[in-house]
A = this chain, B = another copy of it.
Amino acid sequence: MLDKSKTILIVGLGLIGGSYARALTDAGYRVTAIDCDPDAIAYALSECMIEDGATNADPALVSSADLIVFALYPHVFLDWIRENQHLLKPGVLLTDVTGVKGKIVEEVQSILRPDAEFIAAHPMAGREVSGVENSTPAIFRGANYIVVPTEKNTQAAIDTCRALGETLGFARVSELSPALHDEIVGFVSQLTHCIAIALMTCNQDEHLEEYTGDSFRDLTRIARINDEMWSELFLWNRDKLIEQIDSFSSELGSIREMLINGDRDALRRLMRRATERRAKFDKK
């Protein structure tokens, strides 16, 4: 990817931005950061995760970056580009970690200066806790990294972005179009969060933790959720998420029908299909 004399700027030093900073510093890159929270910058400096940092779009920091990673909420990301892109170094490559792509990638690429390039990416990693102090590149191990190019991207940018995913330590790097990304993420990530939330709130029993097995704990781990971030992601991807809710609800409705009909054979066939499909995930 980039040679190690170049500088990588992380904008947004939370859990994911912080984990990028640690991984890239460990890999030998010069890493700088911008975050509006002075404590986040101070922490990252004290941990030697970054070489330099600022609490605003410091012109010197921005203009010295060869690669910028945006780890911001979607609307903050768009605002940042609008307000600060005049500071970018010509030829700079921008990437992101945003959990939805379609409208955001289109918007950024349409407003961006012609001498800069934005290549979208989605690191499929996270934790139930947030903040730079919880950041660790360990969350990337065994995880998937999705590069989301459009017809406006150059092959060089795609290659650099793929190499970034590998440098960060992801187990697998793949490519999806923005539309397919949003459809799949609506299913594997957003729908699962909706399910975890609904499971955690549909029953008023105050003593559930006394009666649960691992199943319920597994299905609700992600119900501890950053409401500010996820509500924004859900609404950016609303149409695709609703389609996924409907598709899942229809399947759950089929199970309900099998129960009503006492159709044990149909239940067993469906369980065997689920078992077979799930088994693929455990092969590595």
Contacts and interface: CB of A to CB of B under 8 A. Distances in A.
A220 B146 contact: no
Contact of A176 (B174, B211, B217, B260): B211
A92 interface: no
Interface stretch (A42-50, A77-85, A243-251): A243-251
Contact of A252 (B205, B210, B222, B249): B249
Q: Give the number of times this chain occurs in the complex, counting copies.
A: 2
Given A195-B195, A245-B252, A201 B234 contact: no
A256 B186 CA distance: 13
Contacts of A203: 187, 247
Given A143-B213, A184-B211, A211-B174, A274 B200 contact: yes
A225 B274 contact: yes
Interface of A: 124-126, 143-144, 146, 172, 174, 176, 184-185, 187-189, 191-203, 205, 208-225, 227-228, 230-232, 234-235, 238, 241-242, 245-256, 259-260, 262, 264, 267-268, 270-275, 277-282
